[in-house]
Chains A and B, each alone.
Chain A
Amino acid sequence: MASTVTTPAGRARGTLRASLAEQRGSRGDLVFRAVLTIAAAAVPALLAVLLMELVRGSELAISRFGLRFITDSIWDPVAERFGAWPLLAGTLLSSLLALCIAVPLSLGVAIYLTEFAPRAVRQPVAFVIQLLAAIPSVVYGLWGIFVLIPLLRTTLFPLLRGALGFLPLFQGPIYGPSMLTAGIILAIMVMPYIISVSREVLLAVPGSQREAALGLGATRWEAVRTAILPYARSGLIGAVILGLGRALGETMAVTMVIGNRNDVSASLFAPGYTMAAAIANEFSEAVKDIHLSALAYVALLLFVVTVLVNAGARLLIWRVARGAGAGSGAL
């Protein structure tokens, strides 16, 4: 068709078509692309501003305390001495507690929904669990204060102390607001996330895995245990870590039930504190620049921790979903 074109015919036709299209709508296309580019570029720009502002806000505390901030355990606004260790420890402990409770339950639900549940049950149950994710954190907190805490104080906590009281974890007075209460509320809150991501991962396991195991005479549970779970393992770990990321940054519900005492205690019945809760409680009341700056430093630490955790989770999920071409499921 084009004797003057020296490049291979296919590519030539492509460029020809592209240049024709450009000629026809070029101005509209340019404006359109420019507007979209601005919107797209705004997103990385926002993250850059966020980081800059966090660093600027915590400059004073960084220069005064440096990295010792992480290991120092005294938090005294009056003496202007700040160390985030109890906050960091409280954040990690409450999140790990939440995972200990949420992971077995979530994986059970996810496996049941993908492998065993009758078709008619799958969608409604998944929908109900998604509703749990829609409840605002502050409502969980309200429910925690007025329903969960009184319930736990009179039933589960005395029971635990009676049965497992020989462990330091379950000793000491029972107030109600405590590390364990926070762990339980957090577990309820992160379950929907872990369930929905694990479901996606399990759905991405090829049917042939399952059929091969069943064909060899495995029962349905054995097929899950020997063929499906090993295949999905790194994706499921990713789902759990994603839940961890959620738990680490959860603020309102934890602030309302953890008791807010800046102390690392061996007992799960004792009140604790987390990074997010400290920021929520103290930021609007802090008057000294160094106090505000220390809280911004805590926010910066929390940012770094959650970004690292989330990046790790995505990497693991991506490794499983890649092969099966599973989308990230917009809805």
Chain B
Amino acid sequence: MRRIASNFMVGLMLGAVVVAVLPLVFILGDLLVKGAGSLSWSFFTRLPAPAGQSGGGVANAIVGTLIIVGVASLIGLPVGIGAGIFCAEYSGSRLAWLTRFVADVLNGVPSIVVGVFAWTWIVARQKHFSALAGSVALAMLMIPMVLRTTEEMIKLVPRSLREAALALGYPRWRTTLQIVVRTTLPGIVTGSLLAVARIAGETAPLLFTALGSQFFTTDVTQPMAALPLTVFTYATGPYEEWHRFAWGAALVLILVVLALSLLARLATRQRFDLNG
């Protein structure tokens, strides 16, 4: 009887696993089926057609996403990695404690709130929407993630390695950069790529910063199109054609995000290979 109860519970749990994995299968499947049809040469190379007309593409949104995420990484990665190294190297200091605590707080802040912040901080002052404000919002989301992975990775470096370098007369900064950070570089790269993957799909912080645009622009002080915004606008719009485009854009977005995540995993795998 007790054995039956035990098996019954295990069966229930197995069912939970199936139910948990099913949505992923459904979502990826639907994306492939409905998205692949709208992918074409013009989808990647043309600008959006005027509302209600067919044809056109999302070239401006693809370039826009690359620029916005690129600028966000330029801001977010140095700060996140630097702060992460600080927290690991001077882990006893009061600033390290404060920074770690604040990073945890920031990690839980909803992205839409960060968007409102970027709006009052930058957009409201400049009096117009800009891609740069979007990048700042995304960087803000990125920093706590990068910080924590960098710190965790550096803490994994054996003390003996550091001591050996110091004993050889290396100054502390060279020990940290050339020995400690170098050993953990694959881990830091992984953390950074995962953070980039996370923010690449973020929509909420861009709604009233980058805003979206029908035109092609590389000027970060102007409103700019982005793939997640395209998905949102087209999915909630009234036209059949738009819905098809939304699925196509979503498929491209998810492929980029998954590729980044896989790349991130490869970066760490390599480290294990090197270590034997």
**Chain A 134-147 interface mask (CB, 8 Å, partner B; 1/0):** 11111111110111
Of residues 250 through 267 on chain A, the ones whose CB sits less than 8 Å from some CB of chain B are: 250-252, 256
Q: Is the CB of B21 within 8 A of A128?
A: yes
A57-B120, A128-B24 known; A142 vs B250 contact (CB < 8 Å): yes
Q: Is the CB of B232 within 8 A of A129?
A: no
Q: List 11 A-B contacts (CB under 8 A).
A: A25-B170, A36-B83, A40-B87, A43-B99, A43-B106, A136-B253, A141-B235, A143-B27, A284-B207, A307-B105, A314-B104
Total A residues in contact with B, Cβ cutoff 8 Å? 90
Stretch at the interface among A4-12, A81-89, A157-165, A295-303: A295-303
Q: Is the CB of A221 within 8 A of B5?
A: yes
Q: Is B41 an interface residue (CB 8 A)?
A: no
Q: Is the CB of B261 within 8 A of A131?
A: yes
Stretch at the interface among A65-73, A201-209, A231-239, A323-331: A323-331
B-side interface size class: 35 or more
Of residues 184 through 213 on chain B, the ones whose CB sits less than 8 Å from some CB of chain A are: 187, 190-191, 194, 197-198, 200-204, 207-208, 211
CB distance from A57 to the nearest CB of B (A): 4
Q: Is A169 an interface residue (CB 8 A)?
A: no
Cα distance A113–B162 in the bound complex, in angstroms: 37
What B residues does A219 contact at CB under 8 A?
A: 2-3, 5-6
Interface residues of A (CB under 8 A from B): 21, 24-26, 28-29, 31-33, 35-44, 46-47, 49-50, 53-54, 56-57, 104-106, 108-109, 111-113, 116, 125, 128-129, 131-132, 134-143, 145-147, 188, 191, 195, 219-222, 224, 245, 248-252, 256, 276, 279-280, 283-284, 295-296, 299, 302-303, 306-307, 309-311, 314, 327-331
**Chain B 103-118 interface mask (CB, 8 Å, partner A; 1/0):** 1111111111111110
Classify the secondary structure of A's interface with B. helix
- How many A-B residue contacts, CB cutoff 8 Å? 281
Cα distance A206–B124 in the bound complex, in angstroms: 54
CB distance from B21 to the nearest CB of A (A): 6
Q: Is the CB of B140 within 8 A of A46?
A: yes
Q: Of all chain A residues, which has the CB nearest B81?
A: A39
Q: Is the CB of B153 within 8 A of A330?
A: yes
Stretch at the interface among B11-19, B42-50, B56-64: B11-19
Of residues 157 through 197 on chain B, the ones whose CB sits less than 8 Å from some CB of chain A are: 166, 169-174, 176-177, 187, 190-191, 194, 197
Cα distance A44–B208 in the bound complex, in angstroms: 24
Q: Is the CB of A29 within 8 A of B149?
A: no
Cα distance A147–B253 in the bound complex, in angstroms: 18
Q: Is the CB of B26 within 8 A of A147?
A: yes
What A residues does B27 contact at CB under 8 A?
A: 135, 139-140, 143
